[in-house]
Copies of this chain bind each other. A is one copy, B any other.
Amino acid sequence: MAAKIRGGDRRALARAITLVESGRADHRAEALALIDTLRVDAPQALRIGLSGTPGVGKSTFIEGFGLHLTGQGLRVAVLAVDPSSTRSGGSILGDKTRMDLLSRDPNAFIRPSPSQSHLGGVARRTREAVTLCEAAGFDVVLIETVGVGQSETMVAEMSDLFILLLAPAGGDELQGVKRGIMEIADLILVNKADGDLKSAAVRTQADYTGALRLLRKRAQDPDGFPKARIVSALTGLGLEEAWQDMRALSDWRKEHGHWDARRKAQGVHWFEEAVRAGLLARISSDKAAAAAMKTLAQEVADGALSPDRAAAKMLDSLS
């Protein structure tokens, strides 16, 4: 299986992703072993996180941008982090239908979000799928999210670059960006800059350029970043410029050591998260402990116990 994936076999890759998504203990052991094998000397893809709420034209953008990249001979994988998705009900079909041309492109691979009720679970599976796609030799891995809960932060923690896709806003449609997200964006793309919406797109771009200037500069940003630009997935306007921005930014970060430092820090972050999640899972998989957590949380909400007293009770019950 590992050899097939390394050889770029898309069916083997799809089966491997199904394996990492499985919750069964024996599958988990196999998945860890497969990743142990594949991560040795795996090439690095450019991991691009992409967030955009429904209505901004995200599927059309991914299709347009993906075809733009495959047209340059690049191999592109598209993964999704959407804790609201359920596999039954046709979300695989949905993802492939909404990106019809890209899904039939031999240099592209599209995979919908794993169906997990818990965002942490979705994130872990997607992160492992990224590793599999890198081993399969993809040049670019796009990780898209609809932005439910903390999903953008999680996607940013597994990406080299993070892109926010917006639609042009009319005068009354401002207040559109979820809190916390402008802060993690490396590039803001205002989509639908075509036809009647073009002037609105230019105004929206100017608004966000202004807002970005108010944020403190980060060490990992060269001059001019983060930036906002207009694109049109329909006409192709700005797609090549956006790609050049992403390359310029990732090249600069590689040269200045930020790329490696970020990947290392991300690895350590996910390790610590996984230990934390594992410890908490021991509580939630123990019926009595899980019930005690729930009861104590309710007592805190009702004001009957202080948070620290409740925590002390819980920790005492575990020792």
Q: A residues within 8 Å of B by Cβ?
A: 32, 35-36, 39, 124, 127-128, 131, 174-180, 182-184, 207-208, 210-211, 213-218, 264-265, 267-276, 278-280, 283, 293, 296-297, 300-303, 306-312, 314-315, 318
**By the criterion CB–CB under 8 Å, are B271 and A307 in contact?**
yes
Total identical chains: 2
Closest CB of chain B to A265's CB: distance in Å?
8
- What residue in chain B is nearest A261 (Cβ atoms)? B301
Residues on B with C-beta less than 8 A from A131 are 306
**By the criterion CB–CB under 8 Å, are A278 and B214 in contact?**
no
Question: Please, how many angstroms separate the alpha-carbon atoms of A221 and B33 in the complex?
Answer: 50
Select one of B179, B265, B273, B274 contacting A218, CB under 8 A. B179
- What residue in chain B is nearest A218 (Cβ atoms)? B179
- What residue in chain B is nearest A179 (Cβ atoms)? B183
- What residue in chain B is nearest A153 (Cβ atoms)? B180
**By the criterion CB–CB under 8 Å, are B214 and A275 in contact?**
no
Question: Please, how many angstroms separate the alpha-carbon atoms of A314 and B279 in the complex?
Answer: 10
**By the criterion CB–CB under 8 Å, are A311 and B175 in contact?**
no
**By the criterion CB–CB under 8 Å, are B215 and A278 in contact?**
no
**Chain B CB within 10 Å — which of A307, A312, A318 has the most?**
A307
**By the criterion CB–CB under 8 Å, are A274 and B307 in contact?**
yes
The 8 A-B pairs with the shortest beta carbon distances in the complex, nearest first, are: A274-B311, A179-B183, A270-B307, A271-B307, A211-B211, A278-B315, A264-B301, A267-B300
7 A-B residue pairs with CB within 8 Å: A39-B306, A124-B308, A175-B214, A176-B216, A210-B210, A267-B300, A275-B283
**By the criterion CB–CB under 8 Å, are A311 and B216 in contact?**
no
Question: Please, how many angstroms separate the alpha-carbon atoms of A296 and B32 in the complex?
Answer: 16
Known: A182-B214, A278-B311. 13 other contacts (CB 8 A): A32-B309, A35-B306, A35-B308, A36-B306, A174-B213, A175-B217, A179-B215, A207-B210, A264-B301, A265-B301, A270-B308, A278-B312, A279-B279
Question: Please, how many angstroms separate the alpha-carbon atoms of A217 and B178 in the complex?
Answer: 9
Question: Please, how many angstroms separate the alpha-carbon atoms of A256 and B166 in the complex?
Answer: 31
**By the criterion CB–CB under 8 Å, are A175 and B307 in contact?**
no
Closest CB of chain B to A319's CB: distance in Å?
8
Residues on B with C-beta less than 8 A from A300 are 264, 267-268, 270-271
Known: A271-B310, A280-B276. A208 touches B214 (CB 8 A): yes
